[in-house]
Structure formats: structure tokens, C-alpha cells
Structure 1
Amino acid sequence: MVNPAAPRLDIAIERWPIAGQFTISRGAKTEAIVVVAQLSQGGLRGRGECVPYPRYGESAEGVAETLRGIADRVAAGLSRTDLQREMPPGAARNALDCAFWDLEAKRSGKRVHELAGLPSPRPLTTAFTISLGTPDAMAEAARRASGRPLLKVKLGADGDPARIAAVRAAAPAAQLIVDANEGWAAETLGANLAACAAAGVTLIEQPLPAEADDALRDIPRPVPICADESAHDRASLAALVGKYDAVNIKLDKTGGLTEALAMDAEARRLGLFTMAGCMVATSLSMAPAMLVGQTARVVDLDGPLLLARDRADGLVYEGSLVHPSSPVLWG
């Protein structure tokens, strides 16, 4: 039954070209495919954007179909609180959860941070990603970005010690973090960790496959290790203690801002410091993640910087300094 006071849900799949090519250990892509959920009510609209994650069996078409399947529940009065029980964590719930937050802000005349009981967000320094390639290609990319304070270096293939050494030589003043995207093995872990330590790397994301990360309990960690593919929502955190030092909170994994904020608090309670991460996407994806970034030790919200163009009214980036969103965009 339709509730005349409930919002209408519309879904769109959008394609945003990437500037060049984005390459990680699992492959390369030349465009970001996002799904946008829009809630319309009384002349107001709330939007949320997600990036389906093939690593977890998600596709744009599948996520859009999942959201269309819950549209009748939304029309009958499903709330954001109900949503946490009705949908599992993942990209589909992220888009709808963030759309609910945006619409709540528009209806109330308050910003999302106020509704969530958070302080006013401040600008943040984001990492800038260097895609996986040959040592020479990565060194050249690092040289072009060497004026940025924080670089995220994609690794996860044979020859990674040479890659990280080349990047360090090309960007001697930048802080480096590494993302192996599950591309290392237990047999090479020690050598790769040593190479990263020698290069002054300050954090390494997900060096081993999620299903094989118990090996992290048994090896010295000269550089702090951050869980990414091993971390999803609050339920995944307890198993990370003793293997990881930090957790990368991404809204497409948590299923939205609601769970991301709760996960952030729980991670810190367990002694894990946090990183605010993203997929390659537009500013509409980054805007809610900016609130998670306020308490994170490391911020990686450079998605729009990797695109050929961003959406109108996108986040303002001054070099690597990213400013909170305007309410025209989100929240």
C-alpha cells in the first residue's frame, strides 16, 4: 500500500569516464559505473550514490534491480532505521541510506552532521592514488604528484619492492601508504613488508586475501596493516583484532553512512584506528564519507580527482585538501 506521505524512489545507472586508466591488482578500468538512488517528496529530493563491488558479486544492474525491488516498501513508509534491518550491507543499501540522510536534511533544514549529532565537518587532506604499473610508469606518476602530501600506491604483483622504491625516489617528501588489494601471499609478505618499511611507508592496506589473512597474526608488522576487503561492517570487526592495526571504512561495504558511523565508533573501541576510503566515484559518493573522515587517521577520498569530470556542484579540491559538501550536492 502506498503511503501518500512517503517519498518516491527512482534509480539511475551512470557512467563517468576515468582520466586515463585506473589499475589495481585485480584489473583495470576506464570508467566509474555508479548507481544513484533518488528520493522525491514534496518538491524536495535526497540522493545517494554507490559503486557496485564486483569483488562481492555486485553489478550495476543487480544493485539497481535490488533497489527497484524495495521501492514499494519505501512508498509504503520504510524508514532509514527500517532499512538497516531490511537490506544487508553493501552498495545498494549505501545508495538508499545516503538518500534518506539527504532527504532528512532537506526536510528539516539542518545539515546531516547536525542530524547525526556530529560537529561541523572541516576540510581534510586526502591521499592521491598512484595506479599499479611498471616501476618506471609509477615513478613518473609519482613525480607528477610529488607535491601532494599523501600518496596511495597500488601494489599487489610480482616486483613490488622495485615499484615502491621507485615511487619513493620520485616523491621523496610525500607520505606513502600502500594498497596491495589482496595481491600478496604469505610467502612474499615478509619481503614486501621490509621493502615498504625501507621506503618509509606509513600504512599498508589488505596485503593478503581476506580468506588467508590469519598469517598476519604470526609475522612482525614493521608497518601498520589496515583491513579493507576483510572489513565490512561492525560484525566483521572482532575477528580483525590481533591481525590488523586499522580498518578502512567504505560506505559501499558498510551499506551507508548509518552503519559507517557506528562502525567507526566500534573500531576505535576495539583499539583499531580508522581510515576513510572510497571507490572511484563522483563527489556524491564522497560527500557522506567526509563525515567518516573527520575521525579517521588516514583519508582516501580522491575518487573525483581520478575522473575526467565530476558532477555539478561537486566537492571543492584545493590540491589534496578537500572541503565538505554544499547542501546543493548532498546533506
Structure 2
Amino acid sequence: MRIEMTLAVEAFPIAGRFVISRGAKTEARVVTATLRAGDAVGRGECVPYARYGESVESVNATIESIRGDIEAGAGRAALQRLLPAGAARNAVDCAMWDLEAKLTGRRAWRTAGFERLVPLVTAYTLSVGTPEEMRAAALKAADRPLLKIKLAGEGDEARLAAVREGAPHARLIVDANEAWREETLVAQLDACARFGVSLVEQPLPAGQDEMLARVARPIPVCADESAHETASLAALQGRYDAVNIKLDKTGGLTEALLMAEAAGRMGFEIMAGCMVGTSLAMAPASLIGQMAAFVDLDGPLLLAKDREPGLVYEGSTMAPPPPQLWG
């Protein structure tokens, strides 16, 4: 079957600024892959991430390097061999899932082995800022059941206290984005326990996280930057209790499903995560959300404007994706 592929770089403004320990941004720049076979159209979106050496230019070039294979009809299995894990493969892989659904009339989640999809409660992310800024943000989001707090290292205990004051009843996830250091790790984990945090994401830099195997972890610790695809899981045992599975890291839904199954067998809890993108990126990730103890698919909630049609969110509850959007 002959396929026609088009690529587009799109920008979606963020509502305000999205700030983590590594910096801030005011828009989400995404690469969208569109595959056409006759009247059927499949789409996939990725968010290139500079932390992993990616840009929209490099992702476009990577996908273009296999245009001939894709347009000649290479499938998802071949794609895993043609491209490494990462954002480029994610856009094409998710577009392939969507195109297959449009061609066959069979929803992608059924092909993936799910009998049905249930609505998901997602975390809502609060950017890192001063304690006063974070308390105000927490107060505005206090009715959401699960908040994810971005932290930055020095001053984090005051930030935690401020958020807990602003949202006394919400469950909390903390995401340090590799900003903590060994000499303060124990004290910071203890502070999180005191403030009732449910999960801590990636406290130490990837590749420098050996200490996690040597200290008591009073609350579960989740690997993010240290966890990319199935092959990365073995090195995480003993250091982490959970893994954050993001399609932009695994290189698409195909590998993400395999990674989630393997993580479960190895005793890890699963977190379904995302970069800041649109509903088109969240839709395939919602399948991983069905397998997850923690869901963080709030990308569209952080945008000033999502693509249409988009996912339906009622507060923090995300409905399954409609077929017009994806899958």
C-alpha cells in the first residue's frame, strides 16, 4: 500500500509560562506527522526535547531520512528497526496506529488489547516559582485531586510548605527534574514525606542516581529522565519504585506498551507522562494511562489553545479520545 507522508511544525502558546528546574518556555513546538492512504488519514504528534538533544529541525530530518521506507508501506514493526527511540519515531508510530484504525474501522485501543477505555484522572502541573507564587497557583488549583509540583533544589521545602498550605487536600507528586543532589537527598525526601507527597520524580541526575539504592525511600521514587525504553528498566531496579513512561522517550505507543508490560512484571508502578503538547499527543498516551497508578497527561490544560477536535477534560478527568482526534 502506497503512503503519502507530510510533516508540519506547529506552535501552540502556553497559558502563561511553563517553568521547571532547567528553564522556562511560553509555547509548545511540536512536529506532526500525517500519513495518507487513499481517503484514510492518520496523525501523530511529538514534542522534541532539548534535554535529549532533539529539536524540531533534527526530528524533521530524522523522519525525512526514512521517508522512502514509510511511503513504500513500512509498518510499525519495521519502524522500530529503522529509527531509535525518541520523538521522531513517536510521531510516525502514533500516525501508523491512527492510520490503521482509520483503514480498518477498528479502534486503536482494541488493537492494543484493551476491551474498553475508562476516563482518567490526571495530575495538574504547577510550575516552579517562589513560595508565594506557588501557594497562589496551588490555591487556584486546590479543587483538583492530584497536583504535580515542579521543584528546583534550594528552597524546595518552603515551596512544598506553600503548596500544601494552598491545596491542603490534594494528593501531591513532586518532580525535581534532576535538580537535587546527594548531600541533600535524604532531607528532601523526608520533607516530602512530612508534607504528604505521594511520589517523587527523578530527584537525582540520570546516570548519577546510584545513591537511591543505598538510602531509605520513605515515599516511592519514580524514574523519568533515567527511564526511556524497555531496555533501560533493568538498571533501575533497586533504585526506583516507579517509571514514568512517555511516548516521546519510548519512541511511540508500540514500545510504550511493551515497556509498561515489562515494568509491571518487574514490580514497578507505572506513571503515564507527557511533554507539553496537544490532545493529539495525549490521546495515544491515554492507553498507557489505563495501566498506570499515576497519570500525568495534562498538556492541553497548560495551553492557551488546544487543537480541535481535542480531548474533553472535566476538571482533571480526561475522557477517552474520540476517533476524530486519534485512533
2:50 alignment counterpart: 54
1:127 alignment counterpart: 123
2:210 corresponds, among 207, 214, 238, to 214
1:147 corresponds, among 138, 143, 147, to 143
Q: Distance in 1 between matches of 2:193 and 2:262?
A: 29
The one-letter code sitting in structure 1 at the alignment partner of 2:19 is T
Q: Distance in 2 between matches of 1:6 and 1:185?
A: 52
Deviating beyond 2 angstroms after TM superposition, the runs of 4 or more aligned structure 1 residues are none
Is the counterpart of residue 171 in structure 1 residue 191 in structure 2? no
Is the counterpart of residue 100 in structure 1 residue 99 in structure 2? no
2:319 corresponds, among 317, 323, 327, to 323
Post-superposition shift, 1:194? 1.1
Is the counterpart of residue 111 in structure 1 residue 107 in structure 2? yes
CA contact (8 A) 1:8 1:71 kept: no
TM-score (norm 1): 0.98
CA contact (8 A) 1:168 1:199 kept: yes
The one-letter code sitting in structure 2 at the alignment partner of 1:19 is A
Is the counterpart of residue 229 in structure 1 residue 228 in structure 2? no
> Secondary structure of the equivalent of 1:182?
coil
Paired residues for 1:173-188 under 5 Å: 173-188=169-184
Post-superposition shift, 1:114? 1.1
Deviations 1:102-143 (Å, cap 9, x if unpaired)? 000000001001111212111000000000000000000000
2:310 corresponds, among 314, 323, 329, to 314
The one-letter code sitting in structure 2 at the alignment partner of 1:249 is I
The one-letter code sitting in structure 1 at the alignment partner of 2:81 is R
Is the counterpart of residue 191 in structure 1 residue 187 in structure 2? yes
The one-letter code sitting in structure 2 at the alignment partner of 1:22 is F
Q: Distance in 2 between matches of 1:189 and 1:312?
A: 43
The one-letter code sitting in structure 2 at the alignment partner of 1:288 is P
Q: Distance in 1 between matches of 2:297 and 2:192?
A: 22
2:152 alignment counterpart: 156
Q: Distance in 2 between matches of 1:211 and 1:278?
A: 21
2:3 alignment counterpart: 7
Q: Distance in 2 between matches of 1:75 and 1:131?
A: 41
CA contact (8 A) 1:233 1:263 kept: yes
The one-letter code sitting in structure 2 at the alignment partner of 1:180 is A
Q: Distance in 1 between matches of 2:273 and 2:56?
A: 20
Post-superposition shift, 1:157? 2.5
Unaligned runs of 5+ in 1: none
Q: Distance in 1 between matches of 2:93 and 2:187?
A: 42
Deviations 1:7-49 (Å, cap 9, x if unpaired)? 1111000000000000000000000000000001111110000
2:258 alignment counterpart: 262
Q: Distance in 2 between matches of 1:232 and 1:178?
A: 19
Post-superposition shift, 1:156? 2.1
1:238 alignment counterpart: 234
Post-superposition shift, 1:74? 1.0
2:28 corresponds, among 25, 29, 32, to 32
> Secondary structure of the equivalent of 2:267?
coil
Deviations 1:158-186 (Å, cap 9, x if unpaired)? 10011001100110000001000000000
Post-superposition shift, 1:68? 1.4
Deviations 1:210-246 (Å, cap 9, x if unpaired)? 0110010111101100000000000000000000000
Post-superposition shift, 1:78? 1.1
Deviations 1:288-313 (Å, cap 9, x if unpaired)? 00000001000000000000000011
TM-score (norm 2): 0.99
CA contact (8 A) 1:13 1:35 kept: yes
Post-superposition shift, 1:80? 1.1
> Secondary structure of the equivalent of 1:290?
helix
The one-letter code sitting in structure 2 at the alignment partner of 1:77 is G
1:276 alignment counterpart: 272
> Secondary structure of the equivalent of 2:207?
helix
Post-superposition shift, 1:148? 0.3
What CA RMSD, in Å, does the superposition of the two structures yield over aligned residues?
Answer: 0.6
CA contact (8 A) 1:214 1:243 kept: yes
Is the counterpart of residue 295 in structure 1 residue 291 in structure 2? yes
Paired residues for 1:195-206 under 5 Å: 195-206=191-202
The one-letter code sitting in structure 1 at the alignment partner of 2:111 is L
Size of the alignment, in residue pairs?
327
Q: Distance in 2 between matches of 1:254 and 1:75?
A: 23
